[in-house]
Amino acid sequence: MLKNLYLQRSRIVPAMGVINGLSGLASAWWVFVAVTVALGLSVAALLARPAMAEEYPDQVILFKNVNIFDGKSEKLTEDQDVLVVRNKIHKIDKEIPTGGSYEVEVTTGGQRKIKVVSDFAPSVYEITVMEAGAETTKKEVEVQVIDGGGRTLLPGFIENHAHLMLPGPTLPAMEANSTWEDLAIHGTKMAEMYLMQGFTTVRDAGGANGGLRRAIDAGEIDGPRHYPSGAFLSTRGGHADFANYTAPVGEASNFSRLNMAQEVDNVGDVHKFGRNNFRMGATQLKYMQSGGVVSAFDPWQLLAGSPEEIAAAVQVANEYGSYVMAHSYRKKAIMTALNAGVRSIEHGFMFDCEISELMKEKGAYITTNLTAFDPNLFDIPAIKQVPASLRKARSATKKFGNYIDNMKKCPAKRGFHTDCVGTVDACNIQIAYEKHLNNEFFGSHASLVAMTSVGGEIAALSGDFMNPYPEGKLGVIEEGAYADILIVDGNPLEDFSVVGSGDKWFDAEPRPESPETIRLIMKDGKVYKNTL
């Protein structure tokens, strides 16, 4: 039963006899690992994920002496230790000892009597491997102790709306000239940059398929967990139609060939290209329901797609147990989307209290790029140099003026969103500035919640079938959650700048490869940066 379950879930063929000193266990490769720390501490729950024999950790990581921001609370929990086993947070407590006993239960997956070792060596946990009622061997596991020195330990950040595969400088230029090589190289660099800025998860809001995630998850390149949307779904002339002005109806564009943007003009198109997105590795769908400022053919007030077409996108997503994120500006667009079952409103600039109520009723989220409310918006070359775009930007900012006040009056669950299209260096600056604006508009606590626990809830909307990381929570520091962890200098609730924010946008100095104040970056239990 267990074996079947494991085979189904992991599709890994068992490797026989791979562990030295564990002879007799080769047939019992489907093991559960339980950790208990000696000295009378309670036995921790079994880890949720069955492991292959070769996955016995050689090392576990114990963070000592940290104050924790758990992703939600308004105060830090002081003087804590956090034990990471494999890729999960296993235990959070005061004074977790640096040695103990570690039991591996094979064959049944059930929990057995824990043997407490009293005279263990410091910085070593002892693993006892047991089979069919008999002890067979013991294994020592090194405990890597990382002293946090009283700094703050918090969840890795979550970006809810990025475009890792859109290098710019403008979307029409990319549509005209980009090859898959340009995009793959850019995506690789963007993924590394995001991770080193402290983002351990990125939801991609259009343009990326599943290939980038495969490369990251296979360890080929460094990057955050990745939730791609596949091709933008957009009507002809809508916000993801970047084709040349004279492009004939029905002609495949460069972006459609690369499945980065698809034209959907009826329910059938939405079905076809929505399903193709999931086939190509998308974890959710992105529907372009409103127009935009820098795109050529669409007024920002556009109401693209009939209610039936939007409902068709929701239907396809629901077939996969997933959801739709909709690029929506006007109130009418937002209300239509929510009523059709869209769970994530992107931008949502005309947000108000009625929308907030409907969002609560529907369990929906909003993510907003706050750079849209910055005077620097008019310095973007694609806006400044294009009279039509400049006109659109001016009219939009007038209409969007109540967003921040309404959000404070009638709060909704809001995720962090940068929406940068452009070079890696420019996006690095924009991310730091977006962090800064979050703190300016909403304060440190609400910003940190948006960047962590709410982001994790949004990622989880992709559901059990399409979520590539379904075995633990993201964006929180709690037992059983994925070990996506940052350690920063100081207390980000009091001094938000320690998260690596930057108070300038277009005239900013180039950003460091990774902010100095982010001292440690761990994703999935692996340390990518440690300057402690």
> Alpha carbon of 400 to those of 325, 394, 404, 434: distances in Å?
20, 10, 9, 17
Q: Would you count residue 164 as binding Zn ion (CB under 5 A)? A: no
**DSSP label at residue 11:** -
Q: Would you count residue 419 as binding Zn ion (CB under 5 A)? A: yes
| Residue 163: CB minimum distance to Zn ion, A | 6
Nearer to Zn ion by Cβ, of 188 and 368: the residue is 368
What are the backbone angles phi and psi of residue 330, rounded to the nearest 5°? Answer: -75, 155
| Residue 512: CB minimum distance to Zn ion, A | 26
Nearer to Zn ion by Cβ, of 128 and 160: the residue is 160
Strand partners, 234: 263, 288
Nearer to Zn ion by Cβ, of 196 and 205: the residue is 205
Separation CA 97–CA 122 (nearest Å): 9
Separation CA 239–CA 430 (nearest Å): 21
Residues 6+ apart with CB under 8 A from 299: 291, 392
Separation CA 224–CA 296 (nearest Å): 32
Nearer to Zn ion by Cβ, of 261 and 521: the residue is 261
Q: List helix spans (H) across 224-344.
A: 254-257, 267-279, 307-319, 331-340
Of 98-106, 411-419, 434-442, 452-460: span binding Zn ion (CB under 5 A): 411-419
Look at phi and psi of residue 525 and say left if phi exceeds 0, alpha if psi is from -120 to 50, else beta: left
| Residue 79: CB minimum distance to Zn ion, A | 41
Separation CA 485–CA 508 (nearest Å): 28
Of 212-220, 245-253, 414-422, 433-441: span binding Zn ion (CB under 5 A): 414-422
71-110 residues in contact with Zn ion (CB under 5 A) are none
Of 205-213, 310-318, 355-363, 422-430: span binding Zn ion (CB under 5 A): 205-213
Tokens linked to 483: 């070990």
Of 199-207, 349-357, 379-387, 438-446: span binding Zn ion (CB under 5 A): 199-207
Question: Which of 467, 143, 10 has its CA nearest to residue 31?
Answer: 10
- The structure tokens 């407490």 sit at 116
Tokens linked to 91: 């235990």
Nearer to Zn ion by Cβ, of 34 and 313: the residue is 313
| Residue 193: CB minimum distance to Zn ion, A | 17
| Residue 205: CB minimum distance to Zn ion, A | 4
Separation CA 393–CA 475 (nearest Å): 34
Q: Are 63 and 81 in contact (CB under 8 A)?
A: yes
Of 92-100, 190-198, 418-426, 449-457: span binding Zn ion (CB under 5 A): 418-426
Tokens linked to 58: 């050689």
Of 190-198, 200-208, 261-269, 311-319: span binding Zn ion (CB under 5 A): 200-208
| Residue 287: CB minimum distance to Zn ion, A | 12
Residues 6+ apart with CB under 8 A from 251: 243
Strands 157-162, 199-204: pairing is parallel
Separation CA 56–CA 138 (nearest Å): 12
Nearer to Zn ion by Cβ, of 114 and 261: the residue is 261
Nearer to Zn ion by Cβ, of 422 and 525: the residue is 422
| Residue 419: CB minimum distance to Zn ion, A | 4
Of 30-38, 203-211, 314-322, 437-445: span binding Zn ion (CB under 5 A): 203-211
CB atoms within 10 A of CB 27: 12
Of 24-32, 202-210, 468-476, 477-485: span binding Zn ion (CB under 5 A): 202-210
Q: In one letter, which amino acid is 427?
A: C
Nearer to Zn ion by Cβ, of 92 and 458: the residue is 458
Count of residues interacting with Zn ion (CB under 5 A): 2
Q: In one letter, which amino acid is 396?
A: A
| Residue 417: CB minimum distance to Zn ion, A | 8
Of 42-50, 197-205, 212-220, 370-378: span binding Zn ion (CB under 5 A): 197-205
Nearer to Zn ion by Cβ, of 327 and 519: the residue is 327
226-245 residues in contact with Zn ion (CB under 5 A) are none
| Residue 93: CB minimum distance to Zn ion, A | 41
Q: In one letter, which amino acid is 376?
A: N
Tokens linked to 13: 């063929």
Nearer to Zn ion by Cβ, of 234 and 447: the residue is 234
Q: Are 103 and 112 in contact (CB under 8 A)?
A: yes
| Residue 260: CB minimum distance to Zn ion, A | 12
End-to-end CA distance of the chain: 45
Nearer to Zn ion by Cβ, of 238 and 472: the residue is 238
| Residue 64: CB minimum distance to Zn ion, A | 41
Q: Would you count residue 205 as binding Zn ion (CB under 5 A)? A: yes
431-490 residues in contact with Zn ion (CB under 5 A) are none
| Residue 161: CB minimum distance to Zn ion, A | 6
Question: Which of 402, 318, 392 has its CA nearest to residue 368?
Answer: 402
Nearer to Zn ion by Cβ, of 295 and 444: the residue is 295
Judged by the rule CB under 5 A, the positions of this chain that interact with Zn ion are 205, 419
